[in-house]
Structure 1
Amino acid sequence: MSAGDVLAELAALREGDLPTHGGRTLAYVYDSGLAGLDELGARAHALASSANGLDPTAFPSLLRMENDLVASAAALVGGTPDTVGSVTSGGTESCLLAVLAAREGRRDVAEPKMVLPTTVHAAFHKAAHLFGVRAVDVPVDPVTFRADPAAMAAAIDENTVLVVASAPSYAHGVVDPVAEIARAASARGVRVHVDACIGGWVLPYLRRAGAAVPPFDFTVPGVTSISVDLHKYAYCPKGVSVLLHADAGLRRGHYFASAGWPGYTMLNTTLQSTRSGGPLAAAWAVVRHVGDAGYERLARDTLAAVTEIRAGVEKVDGLRVLGSPDSTLLALALEGEPGFDLFTVADEMKERGWYVQPQFAHGASPVNLHLTITAANRGGEAAFVADLAASVAAAREAGPVVVGAELEQLIAALDPDRLTPEQFEGLLAGAGLAGGAGLPGRMAPINALLAVAPARLRERLLLEFLGLLYRPPSR
């Protein structure tokens, strides 16, 4: 195929995706709204995409850019001259490495544990699974959804190698009481990681803009590492994150070296070996171009958008905002028994050109709709709220989706560890996906079905469905 034909086919494929610009997709993407920023990132990416971060002596440009990005992130979150860091492929890798470093820093502990609030990002459960660190889940306050410092402190024991707090949590946008948590962990000699993947680059600017941001960074005694994603509110192309450590000794545990083979001595600072210089260069270019004053302006725009959207949501009959968000994320739940369901609201919003992300019930957190608000939403708040009100009205007229009794009985009888292909096919048929049909235009019936499934069964069902999606086309 010619280059033109290939690019035309790619453009046609992309037409079926959610929009990544214009503030219409309120999850997964972060849009600054700045003209030319994507083009700058793409050009910088192209200049360095063939360079390999595996060996900084071969590609010193990448070493320079990585150190520059680490310095910029550290300066935002109260770093000191001792602060060091690593650029990773994204927030999950940063969180994984924080757990790995903590485990390796306590090799004397045979059965290591980490203490987590139940609102912590799922990346830490992935780390527990991969690295053999037991996750100790601690319930959060059922009203504010913030971690409970006393309960977190009580969960620390002689096998605890790490305590984690969020700034903010993804599900509700609240900042955990980091100071109290770090004080308790530090008293026991335990590391504290702050997952500021979302907030690390925006919370400091929100504070400058007048927002009441709780302390969360290296200025808090006892905080030993912080993750900060640059492809979120630094508005860099995906995927670039920074994992910061208070000093080099704390970082050493996630470095890896192997001379036990006849090739080169392999040295890795992250989970990856070969690392394209493209994302690193793109982030470096964007951060330098936007600059400190530019990021403050973007944060002020985002804060204004959050404030207006939140005020508008609270005027929509039947909706409320969960907790008391400290940042740029909102979770919208039902108020009372309004006679509609949020899964239908999400479908109606999509009909109107918006994507809002359904979140299933967990503990004290009910089913809700997640909104990630960015600078690109500034100026579009009224349109969003108007379409949200119209979507609620349409959902109320349609009535809530009801999972049939027969299907509920089938779900109740399923064992996620013994799920058979026949049982899975039966559920697909019940959801209208029999015969390998693609996803329907409306997701409410499927989400309603998943909502009545226990969490472990939901995991298994979605993994099986993922397996169906990721199959090569027939030739």
Structure 2
Amino acid sequence: MKIARRGMTREAIFDRLAEFRNHDIKWQEGRTYGYIFDPGKEVLEVGKAAYTAFLSENGLDFTVFKSLLRLERELAAFGATHLRGDRRVVGNFTSGGTESILLAVKAARDCYRERRPEITVPEMVLPATAHAAFHKAAHYLGVRAVTVSVDPETFRADVERVRSAITGNTIMIVGSAPSYAHGVVDPIAEMAALAQEHELWMHTDACMGGFLLPYFRRLGEPVPDFDFTVPGVTSISLDLHKYAYTPKGASLVLYRNKAYRRHQIYACSRWIGYTIVNNAVQSSRSGGPMAAAWAVLNYVGDDGYLEMARKKLAAVRTIADGIERIDGLRLLTRPDMCLISFTSDEVNVFHIIDEMNRRGWYIQPSLSFDNSPAHIHLSVSASNVGWEHDLLDNLAECVRVARTLPEGELTALIKGGLQGVDLSTISDTQIMDMMAAAGVADGSLPGRMADINGVLDALPAPVREKVLTAFVNDMFSQP
């Protein structure tokens, strides 16, 4: 495939781009409960204008683009204040939560290379609810992820299980505020005390809640301490492109002081060329997201965010209470924030999701893992406020319909055929044959995903990963 020999007209380009979006979710309608954090047209336009104004400025060299240095310092200072840190707290702007997490793990790894050089395979202890980005960081950075089960009732980290997982190679403990899957805050204070006891790095992953939870606390919610007021917390990740509603990608990684943050920075003088010193993973990076984040934060303002939080809190209570009243559904736990997880012991949740999608909603499937069953996830955003009763009415209807739908043949076959089978030897060809039987072919997905999700849910996690890798490898081929 080649670019056009003659340049396309502006009109033709944007017509084609609009065509590409024909099958995207219609997130502007307020019926999408995941991936999108929509603050409304007015705020979005401010973010876009600031983004494009700084689109060409390059964060590679902050001595040349001093505006970006100022923006980054002010954003990090905001994060430090918001998370109740003192003047010694420092931080940097990143492209998103995954980059913030990668940097925190890298900083911890390099810190302990100095402190405890005898550790050749460093380990970090992760509750089963810790975000997948920590496993990605472990994979990229040569750190071993040690996963421990969470409390089966509250889905919060179990401090005693964390304690039992600590070995002579442990360098880091991770807690969530809140966890993405269930929307609950881990016992950060107890985990940080454990980290102090063993002289370990303690990271609070507040990508989802670091911005919003302080507002919930101000509204009278019993938000447990998770920030820099907790002794022993070393670093915190905080996304702005979620509940601060700034354009993607915008996140912060913050450290208790410069002595810890020093291990994040990468410098290279071993080549013939310009000076390389990076405070994040990327070298060249547009100033657009940084300027947009600064603009949106200051445009909405503290009072505006507090009012948004008030409305979302009311919406979450309405939705959670409504789910508990629907026959066949149950909440996995009462959430601490705007993330709701619920399941059914009677009805296939993947059929419920398909039925909701048919009615114009996007709700997210979550596969079973450890002691958490397959369930439905909702991330409630500002744009979802006002849709609560429509959502619940449709959800009740979809549960009734889903009761009548059978389990997919391939799912039943996989479940029945797993005994005594070594799935670790499955080949990519066999995987693609299996996916084709579920309706996946040539990089396209079927209209209904229940059978595919059912197959994935029936497979052990390592095999799921193998299946997903083969599928994505096939999907991203030449059109």
Fold match by TM threshold 0.5 = yes
- Over 3 Å counting, the alpha-carbon distance change for 1:238 and 1:405 in structure 2 is closer
What is the aligned partner in structure 2 of residue 138 from structure 1?
148
Note if contact 1:117-1:137 (Cα within 8 Å) is conserved in structure 2. Answer: yes
Partner Cα distance (1:421, 1:260) in 2: 41
**Normalising by the residue count of structure 1, what TM-score does the alignment of the two structures yield?**
0.95
Match of 1:381 in 2: 388
1:36 equivalent to 2:55? Answer no
Q: Which residue of 2 is the match for residue 393 of structure 1?
A: 400
Q: Is the CA contact 1:84–1:245 (under 8 Å) kept in the aligned structure 2?
A: yes
1:472 Cα deviation after fit? 1.8
Partner of 1:147: 157
Q: How does 1:31-430 map to 2 (within 5 A)?
A: 31-32=38-39, 34-107=40-113, 108=117, 109-334=119-344, 336=345, 338=346, 340-403=347-410, 406-408=413-415, 417-430=424-437
Q: Distance in 1 between matches of 2:410 and 2:471?
A: 19
Which region of structure 1 is more displaced relative to structure 2, 112-121 or 391-400? 391-400
CA distance 1:326–1:153, change in 2 (3 Å): same
Report deviation, 1:68: 1.1
Q: Distance in 1 between matches of 2:192 and 2:284?
A: 35
Q: Distance in 2 between matches of 1:422 and 1:57?
A: 52
Counting aligned pairs with the same residue, the percent is 48
Residue 460 (str. 1) matches residue 466 (str. 2): yes
In structure 1, list runs of 5 or more residues that go unmatched: none
Question: Tell me, what secondary structure is at the counterpart of 1:332?
Answer: strand
Question: Is the alpha carbon distance of 1:111 and 1:280 closer, same or farther for their aligned partners in structure 2, counting shifts above 3 Å?
Answer: same
Partner Cα separation in structure 1 for residue 298 and residue 478 of structure 2? 41
- CA separation in 2, counterparts of 1:421 and 1:269? 39
Q: Residue type matched to 1:378 in 2?
A: V
Q: Deviations over 1:317-353 (max 9, x none)?
A: 000111231111011111x4x2x21101000100111
Q: CA deviation at 1:133?
A: 1.0
The code of the aligned residue for 1:50 comes to S
Taking structure 2 as the reference length, the TM-score comes to 0.95
Do the aligned partners of 1:402 and 1:448 also contact (CA within 8 Å) in 2?
no
Distance in 2, matches of 1:237 and 1:363, equals: 34
Cα distance in 2 for residues equivalent to 1:378 and 1:408: 39
Residues 31 and 375 in structure 1, CA contact (< 8 A), matched pair in contact too: yes
- SS of the residue 1:257 aligns to: strand
The verdict on how the C-alpha distance between 1:414 and 1:39 changes in structure 2, with shifts beyond 3 A counting, is farther
* Residues 110-119 or 155-164, more deviating: 155-164
Contact conserved, 2:407 with 2:451, CA < 8 A, in 1?
no
Contact in 2 for aligned 1:416/1:460 (Cα 8 Å): no
Instruction: Tell me the CA shift for residue 400 of structure 1.
Output: 4.1
**2:32 equivalent in structure 1:** 25
Shift of 1:252: 0.8
1:449 partner letter: V
- Which residue matches 2:478? 472
CA distance in 2, matches of 1:53, 1:31: 26
**Could you tell me which residue of structure 1 aligns to residue 4 of structure 2?**
none
Q: CA offset at residue 407 of structure 1?
A: 4.5
Structure 2 CA distance, aligned partners of 1:207 and 1:69? 22
**AA of the residue aligned to 1:82:** R
Secondary structure, aligned partner of 1:376: helix
Q: Is the 8 A contact 1:412 1:453 kept in 2?
A: no
Please state whether the residue corresponding to 1:267 is helix, strand or coil: strand
Q: Give the residue type in structure 1 aligned to 2:96.
A: G
Report Cα offsets for 1:243-286 as digits up to 9, x if no partner: 00010110111100011111012010011111111111111111
Give the RMSD, CA atoms, in angstroms.
1.6
Between Structure 1 and Structure 2, how many residues are aligned?
A: 468
Q: Secondary structure at the match of 2:378?
A: strand
CA contact (8 A) 1:341 1:395 kept: yes
Q: For the Cα contact (< 8 Å) 2:177–2:204, is it kept in 1?
A: yes
1:368–1:288 Cα change, 3 Å? same
SS of 2:147's equivalent in the other structure is strand
- 2:455 paired residue number: 449
Paired amino acid for 1:372: S
| Structure 1 pair 471–237 and aligned structure 2 pair: CA distance change class (3 A) | same
Rounded to whole Å, the distance in 2 between the matches of 1:297 and 1:163 is 34
Change (3 A) 1:57 1:414: farther
Q: Which moved more, 1:210-219 or 1:415-424?
A: 415-424
Q: Is the 8 A contact 1:200 1:228 kept in 2?
A: yes
Q: CA deviation at 1:418?
A: 3.4
Alpha-carbon distance in 2 for matches of 1:155, 1:411: 30
